[in-house]
Structure 1
């Protein structure tokens, strides 16, 4: 069960905050990126709920603060969440992650949802986020993007996830770890050899890097230079395709040899980016002809 760390007791160093939940973004690397509002809330709050008290303790030390740290990670039970929410009724609780914006591929959404359902006031303090930072520096289209968290570790599940996203006309954003990056790039290269890919690594830190190119080229680079640190993998959207009735017709006929109309339509939609509903109606017509 998640529990409070009583080794650092809270102290009042400024105006008291209203009781409730304060969702506080913290730096992803460069400590200078913390906002003045975040510092004000961390200074005035009663409790800081965090993934790892050691990591957050270092941030508190940097800010010159001594706070009651309450561990709340992805393994927190329903009872632990209820206990923390009970604290919010008469105290100000700041929720932080180890780095960046809480809830973005980090624990916390259940806590926020249940706090709101319990009538607890929730306030967000926006700030650093690795996914958004990577989008700003990668040079890929940003008018539409989809953040999909971490890709699965197993090859088959990773491929299935990528196939499900194939028809989305937006930049895809993933978090990835160094040991798995090459396998993920190889999977992207197998499905989309012509799409532009970017790797943003160690953002805001001394050795920040953003490298772009085809997935296969990037995979070979990182085979010889294994990456370290936090990594964001971005995949550019598919190139626009003009609807080709003859091509769609041929693709659907082939798919219908082994699949139902709905499945064939979904498959061709993933391959071409064409509208699935339109393809489904065409598949029904072809099945009847």
Structure 2
């Protein structure tokens, strides 16, 4: 797992206007951030795209396509923001399409609808953190009358299956909710090919293409880790891969000290794996250091698991 911190830089690639106020112009910004050495591409969610000169960034040619449906709103990205936006738009009677696709990580990891939180963020992290807490608390059971409780060997494979089952259940729930709201879901990748025109490409085989026309577009693609351009980077993994590893991670070096790095280091240590943190300056640098002192000081204790 890699980590680092750098200043973000932004690339303004065009302006958009909001149909409700044609006089207002917003910047379409693609801020590139280096976060936990997850050189992350973050796309700011836009309520509406009404551009006269679409930028060349991310464009692709139109080839063989099927029919070209038109919607009041097309949402790109099926995470928390995209799901909420698409369902809210349906409440106002708009015809809505949601495009959600995942490019596999360098290690081949992919997932379903729901975005980072559901698939490779909050939910799997909390489940693995809970597993670590349960293992730790079992040792205290005899003090409270549970005399025959013994701490056994942990099964990483069982934990990964439990996490995977929960994620898939949530994926299914989101699909049912979209179906009930009559939101058309396209499991595909997307790119702009014209003014309010989007091409979808199947995330499975990249062959099935469809052209969608939209009166309004919301880009809610969120964040993905990006590997640093350094020797040996391909041998590391990111949080996109950690929660679905088929084998126990074993001794782990976590490079970085932001919250994602510390969360992963924490639950891995509680699961019994030797964990080492490689920090350039200080943990959780953007946060209030006085408030963090009680939490950070144990990291410097050589007798602690991290």
Which protein has the bigger helix share?
A: 1
Structure with the larger RCO, 1 or 2 (CA within 8 Å, 6+ apart): 2
Which of 1 and 2 has greater Rg? 1
TM over 0.5: no
TM-score bracket, normalised by the shorter chain, equals under 0.3
TM-score for both structures, normalised by structure 1? 0.25
